[in-house]
Structure 1
Amino acid sequence: MPSAKRGIRIAGCSGGFSDRQRAIGDIAKNCDVDCIIGDWLSECTMTLHGAEKVQNEKLKVEGKLSKEVAGLFDPTFMENLIPALPHMQSKKIKLAVNAGASDTELLAKLVEEEVKRQGLDLKVGWINGDEVTDTVKRLYGEGEEFVSLMTGKPLKDWGYDILCAQCYLGGAGIAEALRQGCDIVIAGRVADAAPTIGAAMWWHGWDRETDLDQIAGSLVTGHLIECSAYVCGGYYSGFKDLMDGCENIGFPIAEVNVDGSCILSKEPNTGGEISVGTVASQLLYEIQGPLYYGSDVTANLEGVVMTQLEKDKVLVTGVKGLPAPSTTKVGITAFGGYQAEFHYYIVGLDLEAKAEWTERQIRKSIGPTAIKELSCLKFSLNGYCPENPRNQEVATVDFRIFVQTKNKSLVDKSTLDVPGFNRWCMENFLQSCPGATLGNDQRQSEGKVYYEYFVTLLPQAEVKHQVELPWASKSIPIPVQKNVRTDYPRDQKSYETENPVDLDSFGPTTRGPLGWVVGGRSGDKASDANVGFYVRHDDEWDWLRSLLTIDKCHQLLDNSDKGKKIERFEIPGIRAVHFLVRDHLDRGFNSTSEYDTLGKNLCEYLRAKHVDIPNKFLRRGRF
């Protein structure tokens, strides 16, 4: 364990497989950090990697797979890591990432081979235990219900067969690997914040049984930096002020102090910013309620406070820790079937009538027998033509036809192959409404495989969490801490504001978009969507918390409101109101029929809705 006289400086260098490949190399070369962390996984990628692993194992048994193939983890990870390795060794920088996906051991071997190829002396370890398919199947067979965290329905009502399952591990294994001398720790499905937790636990020597506030602080820090540039201005409501330098938003650096507080800054000489606004935005991303659960600890978010110390430097304090739950989240993947989509483009006047004309024609072509075999048939008109449109493009909208079915081949020789669904839509073209046209790329109309994803809980005691040290020929088990709680409910505390203020007391108002004075961020957890809103000034806080009730959220959702349960809580220290919109995303990314596959669009839709805004707030300037 290093000296803990100062905080550990941790850089967040990846928020997913789509992030910039320069990050690890540039941070290792140019920045003063102690550890680099990165997140390469999501519910989407875990489903795809897990399904690929099952398919590969099947091919091996059948003798049709002669060697390891790509697809079990992000293939670009090595490109990101290779330039960084010499700098990591010379500057003694540690690395902890969850890039291992569905074959952590294989990726660790590749990293070890690259270290040797470069003639370096870096010890590589990996984290084992997140693969729990057999455990879930056994417990399910023994009568475990496995209730969905999103819908509350049991697994038996899901209607799909378990293909694979992976659970979320905490940071304790990463901390142990670093204590044992690892320079690089490769993990699979650890929680997004786990690499930061593990690095901070190792550096400060925290005890999982007693140092709950400190570990909870590192959990929140991990949440803030695990999405890399999000906390530095990506997805920020005030993005218009950051146009200068937006081509190269920087990556975050967090100094985690011995008391669990952190100071956030960013990579020098890059775009974006670290401000209370950008940091508050990221705190509100993908949370579920006042309690933020991890396998190591539970963090209470209601007391979080953020202070702007200077330009690009924000202090985060006030996090309180509670025992971790006795369970951990587990994602179960199943083969869902096949899906396809077809797009008409229609333009100008009478769009709703034109969409109805087209839908009626296509339903006739499909026929009632085939329609019964479709698990999803959805027609959606997306966009609108403004009055007196300035050009033809803005007057053109997308009419989307989306289908899903368990069987690619339907009755009466109907199919999602081409021709098939494609033909059902295409054959109506010469009978179309006026102004209808087709895109010149019809590949989406070919049926493709999709997967269903079921999120539930697994007892931590059922997980075989281990640290693997190939260089020492040693495996170290990571037991569940004694200090865990079994009584956390599925539905968290939800409440309206105390002592709401009469909105008329704020004086004259102007009708306009909520987002003129309110920032926010939204995201997803399977089929749940979350959205948080914040304001920049103290007197605006009383207005925001009094305005944004649960009923008001339903009202703002308008025609997008599905009538599902909405939960609410507040974080006064960042002047924020948070809502969890239950089961809003039609099953989540892997199988959703929505345009908003990740819940990221929800906040900006709601910020565009009109409310009565006090004129005195508008005089300060708008987002």
Structure 2
Amino acid sequence: MTTHPTRAVRIGNCSGFYGDRISAAWEMVDGGPIDVLTGDYLAELTMLILWKARQKDPSAGYAKTFLTQAEHVLGTCLDRGIRIVSNAGGLNPAGLATELHTLAGRLGLHPRIAHVDGDDLVDRLDELQAAGHPLAHLDTGVKLADAGVRPVSANAYLGAWGITEALRADADIVVTGRVTDASVVVGPAAWWHGWRPQDRDIHDKIAGAMAAGHVIECGPQATGGNYAFFEEVTDRRYPGFPIAEVAADGSSVITKHENTGGLVSVGTVTAQLLYEIGAPAYLGPDAVAHFDTLSLAQEGEHRVRISGARGSSPTDQLKVALNYEGGYRNTMTLVLTGTRIEEKAAWAIEQLAGLLGGRDRFAEFDAQLLRFDHPDAPTNAEATAHLRVTVKDPDRRKVGRAFSNTTMELALGGYPGFHTTTPPSAESAFGVYWPTLVPAAEVEHRVTLPDGTVHSVPHVRGDTRAPEPVAPELPAVPGGPTRRVPLGTVAGARSGDKGGNANIGVWARTDAEHAWLREYLTTDRLKQLLPETAELEVHRYELPNLRALNFVVVGILGDGVASATRPDPQAKGLGEYLRSRLAEIPESLLRT
């Protein structure tokens, strides 16, 4: 086993999702020194997409774009000793490993390839339930057996030790199925530094690497992409993809290659740490990382250090992502122009429902009036609003052309100015996400090494207790005159989907702003600012070391992105909407 205790391991990301920038792999390898090339290709929706691909071709089920990227860089990585670690295996990591062997042979190369699996539980769901595991929905508590559905995918979130074992066996490439997003960073860090599950402070080290992995998993979101204070990003070229330099103690520096666009700052790293999290105790199969113990410091241009991470033992449960077929859906968007918009919309809904045989004819009939119109608008487009009508049903015939063609019958017999944004459309299938838990002991975490041997990776637990974070002292909440301006004048935000839930991470840039934000932005205040959340369950968490708050809005995305009817089904814009809302902010905090 080779260890490198004298310096940090440089882990570069080249993908934040299935479909991300193809050239990022070559740009990462060619742009400067790295030790490991990694990428994240999987999300809840991606597993459903890969299942559909496998229905058409049983040899599919992995992220095919990864093969294209591997073809671009494989020879160079072998020459330079750069290891490649990726979760692109999806539902078929063994199949991807086979395709990589074929690709390498075509290129005249001979990499040592390993793969990690054991996460796929779809064929064991009956067995697990018979053994007394209810597979209850994490948010609703409904047991899977009571839902009357049959999942088409079910994947447990594995940890990092299988990756570590593969690298210790001198694998040049490691591809996995559903491991946690951070595992593709934690695994290489443990290999590089020679970490062992029984090591002293191992959970702190893993927690630090988990934080680094969480930051770089979404690619350029850590380097200026989707950044609330985008005026700070003065290099407007496409952002360079991020690099995590993970040290032996688990601390890290987030950076990017020289002469690439974007920005790495305390702000951009804070934003990404808050992305798609829940409670500050960030659960993982190898440790619980307590994000409220993290400290950030600008160490130089485009270099931010993450330190102070504390970790505790993982639970004896693993999260499992299930997807099942929800039926079929279709959407038509009607354009309303001018005055009396709400009356026109009500008339359209009444007429359309009548022509279709009633709302109750569908499993779901959802009509949303989206207001973009302005009085006395200077252009036609600025005088319009949209009525977005979505229908869902197990019967594809009901929601296909029968629905969209009927919508067009309003063209000459409905409200004045009727037109639509698209012609009549066909139905599309949609899936429903079901998060649950299973005992870790029920899941065999397997690694197939380059020589073909298969090892089981034990689920290791320790006895450490959760640390008590030390909150920094805050200054007094500023008083004095206030001005009614957008909340985003002093607060950044980043939002995203967590299944059917959405999270909104909100942070301030100074201690004084944080003191005010912490007192001002209560759960009740959030519900006032975001009326859509008023009747929903909202959890509020504090992360004072990051000058941040995190809100989780339960159920705002329905059954997940694949079935959501919101115009923003992944809640990507929810944080920016919050920032646009007016607040009475002390003038002493305003910079202009």
TM-score, scaled to structure 1: 0.90
Secondary structure at 1:477 match in 2? strand
Q: 2:69 aligns with which of 55, 61, 80?
A: 80
| Counterpart for residue 113 of structure 2 | 124
Counterpart of 2:554, as a letter, is: R
Aligned-residue offset at 1:388: 3.1
| Counterpart for residue 50 of structure 2 | 49
| Counterpart for residue 522 of structure 2 | 549
Residues 259-278 of structure 1 aligned to structure 2 (within 5 Å): 259-278=249-268
| Alpha-carbon distance change, 209 to 584 in structure 1, aligned in 2, over 3 angstroms | farther
Aligned partners of 2:316 and 2:461 also within 8 Å: no
The reply on whether 1:282 has 2:283 as its aligned counterpart is: no
Q: Give distance in 1, aligned partners of 2:59 and 2:355.
A: 42
User: Cα deviations across residues 548-600 of structure 1 (Å, max 9, x unaligned)?
Assistant: 11111111112x12522211121112211111111211111111111121121
Q: 1:178 aligns with which of 161, 167, 172?
A: 167
| Counterpart for residue 200 of structure 1 | 189
| Counterpart for residue 457 of structure 2 | 478
Aligned-residue offset at 1:500: 9.7
Q: Give distance in 2, aligned partners of 1:501 and 1:374.
A: 56
The reply on whether 1:239 has 2:218 as its aligned counterpart is: no
| Counterpart for residue 455 of structure 1 | 435
User: Cα deviations across residues 200-245 of structure 1 (Å, max 9, x unaligned)?
Assistant: 0111111224411001100111000010100001110012332642
Q: 2:371 aligns with which of 383, 394, 417?
A: 383
Q: 2:98 aligns with which of 109, 116, 120?
A: 109
Residues 128-147 of structure 1 aligned to structure 2 (within 5 Å): 128-147=117-136
| Counterpart for residue 412 of structure 1 | none
Counterpart of 1:33, as a letter, is: I
Q: 2:341 aligns with which of 351, 363, 387?
A: 351
Aligned-residue offset at 1:403: 0.5
Q: 1:339 aligns with which of 313, 316, 329?
A: 329
Q: Provide the identity percentage.
A: 34
The reply on whether 1:216 has 2:189 as its aligned counterpart is: no
Aligned-residue offset at 1:502: 8.3
Q: 1:416 aligns with which of 372, 377, 399?
A: 399
Q: Give distance in 1, aligned partners of 2:184 and 2:553.
A: 28
Aligned partners of 2:392 and 2:399 also within 8 Å: no
Aligned-residue offset at 1:484: 7.1
Secondary structure at 1:442 match in 2? coil
Counterpart of 2:373, as a letter, is: C
Aligned partners of 2:47 and 2:153 also within 8 Å: no
Q: Give distance in 2, aligned partners of 1:355 and 1:233.
A: 40
Aligned partners of 2:133 and 2:438 also within 8 Å: no
Aligned-residue offset at 1:440: 4.4
Aligned-residue offset at 1:452: 1.4
Aligned partners of 1:51 and 1:164 also within 8 Å: no
- Identify the range of structure 1 (223-232 vs 359-368) with the bigger mean alpha-carbon deviation: 359-368
| Counterpart for residue 62 of structure 1 | none
| Alpha-carbon distance change, 484 to 404 in structure 1, aligned in 2, over 3 angstroms | farther
Aligned-residue offset at 1:386: 2.1
Gaps of 5+ in 1: 57-66, 410-414
Aligned-residue offset at 1:43: 0.4
| Counterpart for residue 18 of structure 1 | 19
| Counterpart for residue 350 of structure 2 | 360
Q: Give distance in 1, aligned partners of 2:49 and 2:175.
A: 19
Secondary structure at 1:113 match in 2? helix
Q: Give distance in 2, aligned partners of 1:553 and 1:226.
A: 28
Q: Give distance in 2, aligned partners of 1:239 and 1:159.
A: 47
Q: 2:409 aligns with which of 427, 433, 438?
A: 427
Aligned partners of 1:500 and 1:546 also within 8 Å: no
User: Cα deviations across residues 311-348 of structure 1 (Å, max 9, x unaligned)?
Assistant: 10101112110001111111112111110111111122
User: Cα deviations across residues 502-546 of structure 1 (Å, max 9, x unaligned)?
Assistant: 86x521111111011110111111001111111111111110101
Aligned-residue offset at 1:441: 3.1
Aligned partners of 2:151 and 2:322 also within 8 Å: yes
Aligned partners of 1:137 and 1:162 also within 8 Å: no
The reply on whether 1:442 has 2:433 as its aligned counterpart is: no
Q: 1:591 aligns with which of 563, 566, 575?
A: 563
Question: What is the number of residues matched between the two proteins?
Answer: 586
| Counterpart for residue 508 of structure 2 | 535
User: Cα deviations across residues 470-498 of structure 1 (Å, max 9, x unaligned)?
Assistant: x412111101114279x99xxxx9xxx99
| Alpha-carbon distance change, 473 to 440 in structure 1, aligned in 2, over 3 angstroms | closer
Secondary structure at 1:607 match in 2? helix
Q: Give distance in 2, aligned partners of 1:308 and 1:228.
A: 19
Aligned partners of 2:528 and 2:534 also within 8 Å: no
Q: Give distance in 2, aligned partners of 1:382 and 1:73.
A: 37
Q: Give distance in 1, aligned partners of 2:475 and 2:395.
A: 56
Aligned-residue offset at 1:18: 2.4
Aligned partners of 2:496 and 2:502 also within 8 Å: yes
Aligned partners of 1:208 and 1:297 also within 8 Å: no
Secondary structure at 1:151 match in 2? coil
Secondary structure at 2:558 match in 1? coil
RMSD: 2.1
- Identify the range of structure 1 (99-108 vs 161-170) with the bigger mean alpha-carbon deviation: 161-170
Aligned partners of 2:405 and 2:424 also within 8 Å: no
Q: Give distance in 2, aligned partners of 1:323 and 1:482.
A: 6
